[in-house]
Chain A
Amino acid sequence: MRAFVSLARAMFKGFLRDRTSLFFTLFFPLFFIIIFGTVFSDQGAAKQKVELVGEVPLISSLPADARAGLDEVFQLSTGDDLGAAVESVRKGDLAAAVQQQGDTIEVHYSAADQVGSATVLGVLNSFIGQANIAATGSPPKYTLSQQTVEDASLKAIQYVTPGMIGYGIAIGATFGAAMTLITWRDKKLLRRLRLAPISTASVVGSRVVVSLLVALVQLVIFIGVASLPFLGLKLTGSWWMAVPLTLAGTLAFLSIGLFVGAIAKTAEGGAALANLITLPMAFLSGAFIPLEVAPGWIQGVAKVLPMGWLVTGLKDVMVRGQGPGAALLPIAILLAFSVVVGAIATRFFKWDKA
């Protein structure tokens, strides 16, 4: 027990004092959380830029709440020069230029930006429709009540955080295990330990415990920072299931790290191999980009990757409001993966370089 604690302490101190490992396991994912969380805080399509040329009473006389609704989708500006405004539309700087002559609303838009122009036309049409109904003096017969489903805000931080937790845990565990194995073997520390009266279980167990501990530290820091007001992560119901998910994910990537450490001969080769495995996996698993917008084949690939299960499980419980049961299948798959890859790694394990 004393040997085990001592080894774990030595490894943990080594981790905390190594700037490179700290950077990649903590600051790098944190950096992504902050960048994506702030830059894309206005989620959804950017507002359409619409210029009102001259007086447009239909819009300028709108009641405050209706005007606020319009401002949600349009970035309105005003001008007097129709020619200049149309030229801006042509260049793509404006989505549309709007003019009112008597009771006719004239919209100048570019067919090149179909989405933008369709948005503008649709919104303006509905405003005109409402204005027409209002002009008849009778109350509208149908009303549209809106209710969003699942993650209420759809802000970027909601999917960036689970993705980066998954990625951060993956590289932390993979590199931690691989580098310990490679450098200890290279420096003959492994052989030195083999000649000390300690069990192999102490050596392996301490590495596992340190990795689990590091992963929990990552989880706490990432969630803590993402929940700061300027990033505004909103956790849903059974987010605490992220803890067992994180632990299971750590074991899965520890086994990958042990495998890398067993077959790589040099630290450089091991780092390259670990990156070669974790980086593409991160892209294919929805860690960087939401799987929902990814092509279908990526969604399929994500189903066979441990990081895919980890990230999807984390999203389900942390931001999609799913119950604790949603994490059970990912946890089971991650644990099974750990056992299989761990067994393979054991077969390739060498105490010595020679």
Chain B
Amino acid sequence: MSDLTTTPRLVEAGTSNTSYIGKPTSRVEGPAKVTGTAKYSAEFNVPGLLYGYVVTSPITKGRITKINSAPVLALEGVVQIFSHENVPSLAWFDRNYKDDVAPGGSPFRPLHDAEIKFNMQPVALVVADSFEVARYAASVLEIEYEQEKFDTNIDLKRDEGHKPGSGKTGFMPPPPPRGNPNDALKNATHRIEGEYIHGAQHHNPMEMFATTVEYHQDGKITAYDKTQGVYNVQQYITKIFGLSKDEARVVNHYMGGGFGSGLRPQYQVFLAVLAALELKQSVRVSLTRQQMFSFGHRPHTLQYLKMGTNPDGTLAALHHHALHETSKFEEYTENVVNWSGMLYQCENVNLGYQVAELDVYTPLDMRAPGAATGSFALEVAMDEMAYAAGLDPLDFRIRNYAEQDQNMKKPFSSKKLRECYHEGAAKFGWDKRTPEPRSMREGNQLIGWGMAGGVWDASMQKAAAKAIFTADGKLEVLSAAGENGTGTYTIMTQIAAETLGLPLEAVTFKLGDTNMPEAPLQGGSWTAASVGSAVKNVCTEVGEKLLKLAQKMKGSPLKGASIDDVHFADGQIRLNTNPSEAVVIRDILPASGEEKLEVESSAMPNMIKQQPYSMHSHNAVFVEVKVDEDLGTVHVTRVVNAVAAGRILNTKTARSQVLGSVVWGISMALMEETVMDHTFGRYMNHNYAEYHVPVNADIHDIDVVFVEEEDDKVNPLGVKGIGEVGMLGVAAAITNAVYHATGKRVRELPIYMDKLL
């Protein structure tokens, strides 16, 4: 492993035809996707495949008293029915069921016993020789239950929250109070307070969860699984089923959207592996759209904020408390309130965070977990505070700009939020805004302009990669990273090509296979930084080897040069001092007689370099809405999202990520809510017809501005990640714009027309 801080810098962008970083390169996997050759987990057809269909519980809590399998087993084509009655003896301890991002507690074990812990819990798997037979058989399988009383309503648990433990990776309990938040609030010139609510939301990726387990003749299995982390799944199934890593390979080349839903192994992979091992045959288990509502979700969250200002418009006090649901068996946590202690300068801050247990499935990280929730409440409250203090909402934020992270008492490694404010405002035309609510209109349409912002972690995890350079001049780079439509294939290809000065076409990046070097889960906006650094390192090492071989070539102009004396560009290794003195890279292996170079390397964060700093990406969002004065319909007609996220590796795929984030924000603000009927403890709008996400007609102008931000502390690439930050503040900016349009302050999402009548 090389120390990232001493590896040579990349060739400066723009100096050669093989400078790819920062360019709007089109997706390298685009043709495969649009021609249908890109295979997703449910599309691997292997001979003799059996199909499993999941039976889920119609009750919320209680016990299975009887499963009448016999008549269903007698149906033609039905192979087996798995339930708690016939599951073989599996791993006993909770730790075997814990995955990389499992929260504290006791993970749900599918088909473990007769107990029902949540509605739509998988209770049986019917395996048949066709999907249709399995589905039919599942529909006639009679299961009897004994029901118990249950709690699913967080509203009734307001007084039963508790401070969670720190069992979940990445969870940071809120910092202790600073200053005198109570007195400061009491003495403030202006004060506001309010409760902010959003319901449960489900990830709803287009591709439904599915696993195809190929059972090999030697008893080994390959699981083609929808997941954001093949290693996480491999670890999970090997620990539960007592397999060695060599016996269970996990593959995911493509994902039709994840958004966090694939961070934890889902129950279909357990069921598919179980069935394949028991039946010694290949098995596929695919979930239905309805069943996509049977596992993790963004938790229903209640937040309370109190704020006060000093006479000069600076924040005197800030209180932010949150309560959200978790399951009765695991303690799910996310960082909801911490952001409020660092986004603005404030000496008197009180942050509180609790969870309450309900008879639901454990919530699950969903795009910008915690921050999407917290930034909604904080940024709406900031708007209310600005109005109460008689200040422009943008001006108010700039007055309270945080020059350092007061939670950590550390400077930021870089922070260009001020530039986000300025560049975003200029692009949007914020200075033309009239501050009074209801002061802008076009006929029946009230026009509102609102803004908000956000902050997200710039993280890096350990990652490894392998590079194989062959005598034909082709480079293959492999790392078990994930690609859920974000651009991983493309940016890794760009980094590899640029590092070795090769044309893009000569480079193939492969991912998503436990036969490849390990990469972290695809989440947290850290893939670009983590896997990107590993790819850069491994290619740099290939470059060092190539240089050595090149120096042995007859008449080599590179003799005696160190790696710092040369650069890789346009298919050549060139002397920095005289670039015309060069060796053609594809000539090197044939000259040396070697067939290929193979190097494996990894990258990890430089803790010493990072420790003094707080590392974050930021954004500022400006929004225009049109609200029908009589009918309450809201349309988001214009959005400018200015993002400072370090170096942007690919302006095209990064822009797409932010566009998608804005659509998510619009969706969160105006449409998304999984509604539970507490009589049944069941989500009722569990389909695409009634769980609304925007359609094309809902999306209008979206402008993405990337603010230049250099940061040599986060990682040598200077990358902060772009997958999540773009969503922050969008729902708040829309809510604020709705207030500006109508004078109505909505504090509960989604803003359906009901709330504006």
Are the chains A and B members of one assembly?
Answer: no
Question: B residues engaging A (CB < 8 A)?
Answer: none
